[in-house]
Structure 1
Amino acid sequence: MAEVQPQQSNTEVVGQADSAVQNADAPIEVICGPLLNYKSMHFEPSALWNGSVLIVTNPGQRQPQMIVRQVGPVSENAQANGALSNRQPIIIDGLKLYEDPQKAFWRFSIPVPLEAYEARWEYDIPGFQYTSSELTRTSWNFVVPSVNQSMRIMFHSCNGFSVGTDMDVWVGPNLWNDVLRVHAQKPFHVMVGGGDQIYNDSIRVDGPLKEWTEIANPHKRRNHDFNEEMRAACDKYYYANYIRWYSHEPFKAANGQIPQVNIWDDHDIIDGFGSYTDHFMKCAVFRGIGGVAFKYYCLFQHHIAPPKSTFTTDAPETMRAVNGTSGADPRQLKDTFVLENQVEDESWILGKRPGPYVEEISRNLYMRMGKRIGFIGIDARTERTRHQVNYPDTYEAIFSRLEREVTAAKGDIKHLVLLLGVPIAYPRLAWLENILSSPLIAPIRLMNKRFGFAGGLFNQFDGQVDLLDDLDDHYTAKHHKRERRVFIQRLQQFSKAHSIRVTILGGDVHLAAIGRFYSNPKLGIQCENDHRYMVNVISSAITNKPPPKAVANLLAQRNKLHHLDSETDETLMNMFDQQPGGVEKSSASNKVTMPSRNYASITEIESSNDANAEGASFQLPKDGHSPLHQGEVGAGTSHLAADGISSQGDMNGGLNISIQVEIDPHRKGGPTEGYGFCIPALKAQVNAPGTRPKSSPQ
């Protein structure tokens, strides 16, 4: 059969609703969706919000259309004051991104104007009909901030289950019910996924990599082909797993009404991808699944067309990247349509060269999250090896983009939210690295190979100690120490130069914590004036099981004072003043790590009870084991920010941070206990003590 050709009308068209909707009675047979994404925001020359909606349908469907209309202001006060623009509904034609004999992916690009009020928009797809009777159609809407408002951000990570999780204990993704509860009270404008939005690890347990994983000889595993037959089987697995998970309630409901922004991490591919030994990571099977995972990451998580083909060992075209993407394989394109020649979305910061194990360039993100918040999401997986997180030229591209955007914003941006796949202000585990990689482990490894002794200690891929890939993922790992230090110092310079507060989001570790960098208290700098004060909000996992209490308590014991350099200290903050709902999760003495499922909320502080009292008289502590400013005083369940909703506080222009912690995994509603504190806006003082300029790190 010849290659499927695009329809003549296969372009995204936005028009007024007085245009006729095409064949409105003909059904659109939908397999999955709608999935809502946030893309970008502009304030000049006109104020505009851009997003997208993705649906997956049966192949051969007519071109679907979407109707988007404004419902009105979210606030009853705004409605009472007559704040309504009476905008006309909009019709948007779907754009086909990909189609093969089993499925088709359609994107609707949604531009809506920003109003003087926070506005709710609803959308509908005429003829929308699920192919599965198990899926229920509901009404869909989303909320856009006002033209003068910063976004309310929900942050999550590790949204799935590791292989072997006891599902009798860790029942379903219940915490998404609590997300929807909070969203109903005070809407989130965006939900940020910090990686592992889906867990694809079972591909090696009951999927097409099972036989390969069971090959005992490491040399044979490394040299195993990844041919078209294996690629097609893995493609089928990844697609089916995405459909299963993204159709699972209540995650499905959240996807239809809170716009997503995502980066990927290892489990979006397979556990540990990028952090095994280099010679093993370069094997054909790992390169092959990296390509297939990237294909569906593009489609489901970013609503962009995938590469035309992905890596196989029997198609030379795919074995080297061409113009930053895998070459085209005629066999993979048979009976298949892939959208080409699309202008890259403006939110991307693209890498300069392909990753070492995936034949694709990295895709980092920049976007405005409302009036006063800029956002950067760093792709820390495509370029990752055991010895690097990102290429130096990727950091250059990121900071160049930041400089351009901040200049264009003309002083409006007061906060930069930086998304990383793993924490960067976190307890050191070098002692554990040293033990697990020491000669002491060698005899045990030999017994494992010969007799299966200590089978749970070693991974099934490269024979290394299973924890090592997780430890090597961390910025605090010995391999990444210099890269981490240079990165943080460069963020400090950016923060100081533009008087922008940097706040970092990180997940991966399956517990909640608050890390922070700050100026050595001996320098006498109040946090409101401290460009080195950067909080790392660690929120993980929203769905996966937490680590044992003993692990969380051990990490708390390792919460030492560390020195990034002579002027910058770091440590975790005392945040968890009591156990959630009175249910014991960790030791009574552990105030810094919380081993329970959780997610985070970030809300800009809109007003101040006493703006003149912001930290001016705060007595700096001797070290970071005590509160560093007024917003950290009383951090925990009694703090004003703990409810995940409040936009009030004494830190005018700052950010309220809340960690919502699950109380009992068996309760379907996912009730949580909230823990809060706030981050002050930055008022950098160039001539303040300890702020002498440094040369740019190389």
Structure 2
Amino acid sequence: MTVEFEAARLGPILYYRGLKGDALQVAAMVLLPIGEEPDLLEAGDAQHAPKLLREIGRNAIWRYDFTLTQSNGTYHLGDQSYSVQTDLTGDMRIAFASCNGEEEGDLDRDQEERNLMWAHMCDAHRRAPFALLLQGGDQIYADEATQGHPLSEAWPDKADRPRNAEELEDLADHLRQRFAERYVQALFGEAPRWIMARVPTLAIWDDHDICDGWGSLYRSKTYSEVGQCLYRVAREMYLLFQHAAVEADIPDLFLDKTGTSLSWQRALPGVTLLAPDLRAERGRRQVMGAYGWSATEAMEPGTEHTFLISSVPLLGPRLSLVEGLMMMIPTMQKYEDDLRDQWQSRAHRDEWVRMLKQVLKWRETAPVTVLSGEIHLATRAEMGPDEMRVHQLVASGIAHRAPPQGYARSLGTLAGLGDAPVSGHPIRIHPLPGQKHRYTAERNYLELRRTGGTWHAVWHLEDSGDTEPMALE
């Protein structure tokens, strides 16, 4: 018997939809106990009633759609007022974060410790407001959501077949409520909910938003009835909690109108945001399928600056060397899916080159900066030559505790080998400003700062503090 997702009064969480003229189009999501009447939301001179998205357990999830103007960026809900940065024409600040959780025991962590860097982001926003929050993957760690149900208890080691459709739907209900619990923790903790009520967010998903290594596991697991049920629910919950959306909203929010790929593109004044979906069609021998590639190749770069969100680092070390070595050692083969997850895997090299060439094509129009997470470390990379330089900024682990220093040093040694999958465009991994080593093992998030028309990057590190601003020419 599934334990019901407890009733709660939570929200709002703010989502960025786009610009209409100089007005900011946003959505706000709230959770209320089923049967409780939601308040009207006030923005400017208008009142907005919410739309019921769905019910989960004892909760109803509602969405308000509204517009904020440059002259009035405040909205009111209940007895609370929320101010949003809506003047986007000059200087601007964008936050980027990823890896908001851990694989085991995340629901039981001390919330103040877990959300320490979120609290840091809130303080930074109070000093100088962020206009947008980008979330680069692993916004939740759903790995333990399969526990507690007989069909999925041993997932992914074992994928039992359901006896009938009713048993499979019971699993779906179990997963739906377990995913919702994790989203409530990730979005509605004291610090995350404070800033996400005031800074609209945009998100792309990664494997832990489904399960560890989704798409890099063997097809016998992911294409089993249990595996497909898990993916169906994870996708539904990703749309709901990370985009305040349901299936009918897909044509308005994503580039692939069929929803097979959940790639998206948005813009702010002077900057374009591109986010290919690297999970929906992933397999052991592909990162994206036909729908994802069609969406990606249809993306249009900005004329001033383009930020590309790649949920796994696009510019990285020669992991194919490690991959080959690990497959020769039986005790290390269990980590194969972690390496298959990377663009640099032997299985994805042709596709990696295709993506790098696409980025270079965009670079002909304007500077391109890649934003990435996934590795629980902070680092940066460049792909040359100088006149066509592409920067990559990795900020990973806003809540996930940092791996050992030895791991970061070993990865840094491997990165010293360099790589040039596209002739004439060598890739180099560099330390953050002020750091000695290529990879920094501290919890972190990234600030993108436009001042006087020039973009700079600042990493906020848990122990070392803030880096010096790095220009993104």
- Mark yes or no: TM-score above 0.5: yes
Specify the SS of the correspondent of 2:384: strand
1:427 equivalenced with 2:304 (yes/no): no
Asked if 2 retains the 8 angstrom alpha-carbon contact of 1:545 and 1:597, the reply is yes
Amino acid at match of 1:596: E
1:344 equivalenced with 2:251 (yes/no): yes
Specify the SS of the correspondent of 1:596: coil
Q: 1:293 maps to what in 2?
A: 234
CA displacement, residues 113-136 of structure 1 (integer Å, 9 cap, x when unaligned):
335xxx6x222223x7xxxxxxxx
Shift, 1:291, TM fit: 0.9
Specify the SS of the correspondent of 1:183: helix
Match of 1:124 among 67, 70, 76: 76
Amino acid at match of 2:154: T
Match of 1:566 among 417, 423, 426: 423
Q: 1:658 maps to what in 2?
A: 458
Asked if 2 retains the 8 angstrom alpha-carbon contact of 1:30 and 1:55, the reply is no
Asked if 1 retains the 8 angstrom alpha-carbon contact of 2:382 and 2:391, the reply is yes
CA–CA separation in structure 1 for the residues paired with 2:265 and 2:235: 20
Match of 2:69 among 109, 113, 118: 113
CA–CA separation in structure 2 for the residues paired with 1:416 and 1:34: 29
Shift, 1:141, TM fit: 2.2
CA displacement, residues 115-161 of structure 1 (integer Å, 9 cap, x when unaligned):
5xxx6x222223x7xxxxxxxxx642211124x23642100000112
CA displacement, residues 467-500 of structure 1 (integer Å, 9 cap, x when unaligned):
222211111111111111111112212321x2x1
1:492 equivalenced with 2:360 (yes/no): yes
Q: Aligned runs of 1:414-563 on 2, under 5 Å?
A: 414-438=304-328, 440-441=329-330, 444=331, 465-496=333-364, 498=365, 500-519=366-385, 527=386, 530-531=387-388, 533-559=389-415, 560-563=417-420
CA–CA separation in structure 1 for the residues paired with 2:111 and 2:25: 40
Amino acid at match of 1:678: A
Q: 2:206 maps to what in 1?
A: 265
Q: 1:363 maps to what in 2?
A: 262
CA displacement, residues 350-386 of structure 1 (integer Å, 9 cap, x when unaligned):
165xxxxxxx5121111112x2100111211111111
Shift, 1:401, TM fit: 3.8
Shift, 1:552, TM fit: 0.3
Shift, 1:224, TM fit: 5.1
CA–CA separation in structure 1 for the residues paired with 2:87 and 2:286: 38
RMSD: 2.6
CA–CA separation in structure 1 for the residues paired with 2:449 and 2:95: 9
Amino acid at match of 2:64: F
Q: 2:4 maps to what in 1?
A: none
Q: Aligned runs of 1:70-89 on 2, under 5 Å?
A: 89=45
Specify the SS of the correspondent of 2:336: helix
Greater Rg, structure 1 or structure 2?
Answer: 1
CA–CA separation in structure 2 for the residues paired with 1:301 and 1:214: 25
Amino acid at match of 1:374: T
Amino acid at match of 1:363: L
Shift, 1:189, TM fit: 0.3
Structure with more of its chain in helix, by fraction: 2
Q: Which sections of structure 2, spanning at least 5 residues, go unmatched?
A: 1-6
Amino acid at match of 2:285: H
Match of 2:221 among 270, 280, 288: 280
Asked if 2 retains the 8 angstrom alpha-carbon contact of 1:576 and 1:591, the reply is no
Shift, 1:112, TM fit: 2.2
Q: 1:196 to 1:564 in 2, by over 3 A?
A: same
CA–CA separation in structure 2 for the residues paired with 1:192 and 1:364: 14
Asked if 1 retains the 8 angstrom alpha-carbon contact of 2:92 and 2:451, the reply is no
Specify the SS of the correspondent of 2:256: strand
Asked if 1 retains the 8 angstrom alpha-carbon contact of 2:86 and 2:131, the reply is yes
Q: 1:96 maps to what in 2?
A: 52
CA–CA separation in structure 2 for the residues paired with 1:159 and 1:514: 20
CA displacement, residues 39-61 of structure 1 (integer Å, 9 cap, x when unaligned):
1113xxx3221111001112223
1:49 equivalenced with 2:24 (yes/no): yes
Amino acid at match of 2:377: L
Asked if 1 retains the 8 angstrom alpha-carbon contact of 2:68 and 2:74, the reply is no
Amino acid at match of 2:97: H
Q: 2:448 maps to what in 1?
A: 602
Asked if 2 retains the 8 angstrom alpha-carbon contact of 1:600 and 1:657, the reply is yes
Amino acid at match of 1:602: L
CA–CA separation in structure 2 for the residues paired with 1:181 and 1:50: 25
Q: 1:390 to 1:190 in 2, by over 3 A?
A: same
Q: Percent identity?
A: 22
Higher RCO (CA < 8 A, seq sep 6+): 2
CA–CA separation in structure 2 for the residues paired with 1:361 and 1:392: 9
Match of 2:470 among 655, 658, 677: 677
Q: 1:645 maps to what in 2?
A: none
CA–CA separation in structure 2 for the residues paired with 1:143 and 1:98: 30
Q: 1:508 to 1:101 in 2, by over 3 A?
A: closer
Asked if 2 retains the 8 angstrom alpha-carbon contact of 1:150 and 1:373, the reply is no
CA displacement, residues 270-306 of structure 1 (integer Å, 9 cap, x when unaligned):
1111111122211111111111111111111101125
